[in-house]
């Protein structure tokens, strides 16, 4: 899986707001056909990471360093015209709220046709035929009729299917999906995740899936990178992360989610305190104030990334104690 050269390679990515690094030295690889979940809570910097990859950062946020290599090109150093040719073509992005990602004044079919023709020199009729085929592929019922409809006439699930069709129109090497199912109902979420898996198995596109939902991660991801307060704290295969988490944050987060096999109406394990705003990030390990294993050194110095297996890293000085079950329940 990760033996082949990665299609997307991110090194030491840093994004600042004012003087604060809100994305702080993030690095990972994404292989063709693989789904990597970037998981974390609100404010951890996961969406800023996604936006930074395509140089779509909002006003206050600045790209301060790092390298993003997509199929050999360093996206942080090419000019804007070259970047525009890559966006939507070699790398696409879909967002949580599909209704606000679509142009409300244009039929969805035209938006897809426009997307197809922006990247390939096709006559209108051929692009329209292609659009129809894509609507079919993403499971839109009555595709012929839907092509002429406006976003407000479609449900949230339907709009997300349209967004996926647009994002995949150019057969990108990488699809960045930022909370793609968070706004959808659970039965529709199941449909969309199923759809994405099927389409990508066929095309070999790599997915960077950004989410806060551990259930979605378990369902869709091959590998997982856990983010807390701007930094990656743990990476590994989905089975390793869920089966044997080594960072106290990952381990506690997994325990604090209600599960179908836990004992109902009893107290759950919790993480004390709340996710700090970036103005309040501590020096040292940023999880230390909430960590039951934290010691003086954790509060003083940012822990280095320890490699604990193939494709398995953890940024915690006490990861052996977590492995040995010394994390209080």
Rounded CA separation 166/51 (Å): 18
What CA–CA distances, in Å, run from 138 to 4, 16, 131, 230, 299?
Answer: 28, 37, 11, 34, 49
1 scored as a contact of another protein (CB under 8 A)? no
Phi and psi of 110, rounded to 5°? -65, -35
Binding residues for another protein, total number by CB under 8 A: 49
Token digits of residue 283: 């020096």
11: burial class by Cβ within 10 Å (0-12, 13-18, 19+)?
middle
Taking a C-beta distance cutoff of 8 angstroms, is the pair 160, 139 a contact?
no
Residue 119 C-beta: closest distance to another protein, Å:
30
329 scored as a contact of another protein (CB under 8 A)? no
Rounded CA separation 305/290 (Å): 19
Classify residue 294 as left (phi > 0), alpha (psi -120 to 50) or beta.
beta
Considering only residues 174 through 213, tell me which ones interact with another protein, judged by CB under 8 A: 185-191, 193-194, 212-213
Q: 4 by DSSP, 3-state: which?
A: coil
Rounded CA separation 23/16 (Å): 7
153 scored as a contact of another protein (CB under 8 A)? no
Residue 13 C-beta: closest distance to another protein, Å:
23
279 scored as a contact of another protein (CB under 8 A)? no
The residue from 258, 279, 296, 328 that contacts another protein (CB under 8 A) is 258
With CB under 8 A as the contact rule, which of the stretches 52-60, 142-150, 197-205, 267-275 interacts with another protein? 267-275
How far from chain centre, in Å, is Cα 200? 15
Question: Which C-beta is closer to another protein: that of 115 or that of 245?
Answer: 245
Nearest to 217 by CA among 203, 199, 229, 235: 235
The residue from 83, 122, 254, 302 that contacts another protein (CB under 8 A) is 254
Rounded CA separation 248/182 (Å): 26
Rounded CA separation 329/325 (Å): 9
Question: Which C-beta is closer to another protein: that of 10 or that of 164?
Answer: 164
The residue from 62, 137, 171, 242 that contacts another protein (CB under 8 A) is 242
Question: Which C-beta is closer to another protein: that of 215 or that of 304?
Answer: 215
Question: Which C-beta is closer to another protein: that of 81 or that of 186?
Answer: 186
Binding mask 66-105 for another protein (x = CB under 8 A): ----------------------------------------
Rounded CA separation 237/243 (Å): 10
Residue 78 C-beta: closest distance to another protein, Å:
36
274 scored as a contact of another protein (CB under 8 A)? yes
Q: How many CB atoms lie within 10 A of CB 181?
A: 25
Q: 94 by DSSP, 3-state: which?
A: strand
Binding mask 107-146 for another protein (x = CB under 8 A): ----------------------------------x-----
The residue from 76, 126, 218, 306 that contacts another protein (CB under 8 A) is 218
The residue from 72, 142, 266, 325 that contacts another protein (CB under 8 A) is 266
The residue from 1, 5, 106, 268 that contacts another protein (CB under 8 A) is 268
Question: Which C-beta is closer to another protein: that of 4 or that of 257?
Answer: 257
The contact set with another protein (CB under 8 A) reads: 41-42, 141, 155, 157-158, 185-191, 193-194, 212-219, 221, 238-239, 242-243, 252-254, 256-260, 262, 264-272, 274-275, 290
């Amino acid at each position: 899986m990760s033996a082949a050269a990665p299609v997307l390679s991110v090194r030491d990515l840093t994004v600042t707001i004012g003087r604060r690094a809100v994305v702080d030295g993030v690095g990972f690889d994404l292989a063709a056909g693989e789904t990597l979940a970037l998981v974390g809570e609100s404010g951890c910097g996961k969406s800023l990471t996604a936006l930074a990859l395509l140089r779509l950062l909002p006003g206050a946020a600045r790209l301060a360093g790092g390298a993003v290599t997509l199929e050999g090109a360093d996206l942080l150093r090419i000019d804007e015209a070259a970047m525009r040719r890559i966006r939507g073509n070699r790398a696409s992005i879909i967002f949580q709220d599909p209704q606000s990602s679509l142009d409300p004044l244009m039929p969805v079919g035209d938006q897809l046709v426009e997307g197809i023709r922006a990247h390939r020199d096709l006559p209108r009729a051929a692009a329209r035929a292609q659009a129809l085929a894509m609507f079919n592929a993403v499971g839109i019922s009555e595709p012929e009729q839907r092509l002429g409809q406006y976003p407000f006439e479609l449900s949230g699930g339907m709009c997300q299917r349209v967004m996926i069709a647009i994002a995949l129109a150019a057969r990108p090497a990488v699809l960045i999906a930022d909370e793609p199912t968070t706004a959808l109902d659970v039965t529709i979420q199941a449909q969309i995740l199923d759809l994405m898996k099927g389409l990508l198995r066929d095309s070999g596109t790599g997915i960077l899936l950004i989410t806060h939902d551990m259930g979605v991660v378990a369902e869709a991801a091959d590998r997982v990178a856990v983010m807390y307060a701007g930094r990656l704290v743990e990476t590994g295969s989905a089975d390793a992360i869920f089966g044997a988490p080594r960072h106290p944050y990952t381990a506690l987060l997994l325990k604090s989610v209600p599960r179908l096999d836990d004992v109902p109406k009893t107290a759950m394990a919790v993480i004390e305190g709340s996710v700090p705003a970036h103005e309040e990030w501590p020096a040292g390990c940023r999880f230390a104030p909430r960590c039951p294993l934290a010691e003086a050194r954790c509060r003083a110095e940012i822990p280095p990334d320890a490699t604990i297996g193939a494709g398995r890293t953890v940024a915690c000085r006490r990861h052996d104690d977590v492995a040995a079950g010394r994390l209080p329940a």
